[in-house]
Amino acid sequence: PLWLSTVIFVPATFALSYLGTKFSTVFLFEHTSWGVLILVYCIVASLVPVWALLQPRGYLGGFVLYTAIAIGIVGIFFGGYEIQQPSFKSWDIGGMTGMLFPFLFVTIACGACSGFHGLVCSGTTSKQIDKESHTKAVGYGAMLAEGFVAFIALVTIMIVASETVKGISPGKIYGNGIGEFLTILIGKENLPFAITFGAMAFSTFVFDTLDVSLRLGRYIVQELFGLKGKLGAITGTLATIVVPFICVLIAPKGSWNDFWTLFGASNQLLAALTLLSITAWLYQARQRIAFTLLPMLFVLAITLSALASLVVGNFRAANGFDIKFVNGLASLVLIVLAIYLVITALIKLRGEKRGELTAENA
């Protein structure tokens, strides 16, 4: 039963985090080994039914998330920390993504508007909802919680001086911040465990997208090409296994830093296309569309401008067919696909009589 699993495995999750600070050398692997292990897990989790691995992993991770939020609230309101970052630095701090506009809007990403979740809700969340009436609380409630996580992340950088965090990764800054907040409750002497918990909380937020992303990629490929039956199962499985390992083998070291700049823009592009789909459906159903149309136009314009900046910046910095060139090419492909989908939606709507909802256009 669920209550028994909760009583056993939720405390075990936190206990293992504590034990990791005492006996971590027992499980100390090199970075590559951990990467392969995580990748193998993600492949298995994306192929087996949702309830087998993905759902329990998400369930346990939820407790880590809620605990981290609670700790963040304690730290923000009772920690007595002072803001050490300036309220405004510059409109442009340099670099390809250093401009405040438009990159502020695509950097916040999941903390404000997440297109990735538009895919997640259709492929995994929908399979775990007990009743349709729960969708609003789960979907909208989750985005509110994610927004609060973004707020806490912002605070963790606000309370430290710029020279202190120079050269430190964002994940480590967040983990250290949550750890610092936690010491208010458990004391400074337990700082190693507190920071470990903060790092685990960050990892929970980030790594839970890996198995979900592989699952989404698999079924999107199957649906896009209409693959069904044994052919669909074999093709989807091979794509799930082969593509990630090819990326691991051919990707140059540190290349994720370049591709990561595409994450926010591609995520917000999905958000714009999700809003476009909803707007088209509402239009066909003779419902008001302004409350989805206007945000869609805003998000689409901001995202396309960010992608255009990435195209220009990457092509200028490219030296032959290198990572910068590939990144710029990927940005250009995203722009073309977005414009194509918008035009397709407009043509589709013009060809349909408003109010004629069919199984295809619904």
Q: How confident is the model at residue 22 (pLDDT cuts 50, 70, 90)?
A: confident
Give the per-residue pLDDT at 24. Answer: 66
pTM of the model: 0.82
Nearest to 139 by CA among 158, 120, 163, 111: 120
pLDDT, tens digit, 9 for 90 and up, residues 93-115: 777 667 888 888 888 777 888 88
| Total Cβ atoms within 10 A of residue 54 | 21
Between the two ends of the chain, the Cα-to-Cα distance in Å is 38
What torsion, rounded to 10 degrees, do the Cα atoms 312, 315, 317, 321 define?
160
pLDDT, tens digit, 9 for 90 and up, residues 43-63: 888 888 888 888 888 889 889
Angle formed by the axes of helices 135-158 and 116-123, to 10°?
140
pLDDT, tens digit, 9 for 90 and up, residues 298-334: 999 999 999 999 999 889 988 888 888 988 999 999 9
Q: Computed from CA positions of residues 298, 304, 307, 312, in that sequence, does the dihedral angle turn out positive or negative? A: negative
pLDDT, tens digit, 9 for 90 and up, residues 158-194: 888 777 777 788 888 888 899 999 999 999 888 888 9
Give the per-residue pLDDT at 359. Answer: 46
User: Which of the 8 DSSP states describes residue 99?
Assistant: B
Alpha carbon of 89 to those of 34, 57, 83, 151: distances in Å? 38, 40, 14, 19
CB within 8 Å of 335: residues ≥ 6 apart = 304, 307, 308, 311
Give the per-residue pLDDT at 214. Answer: 82
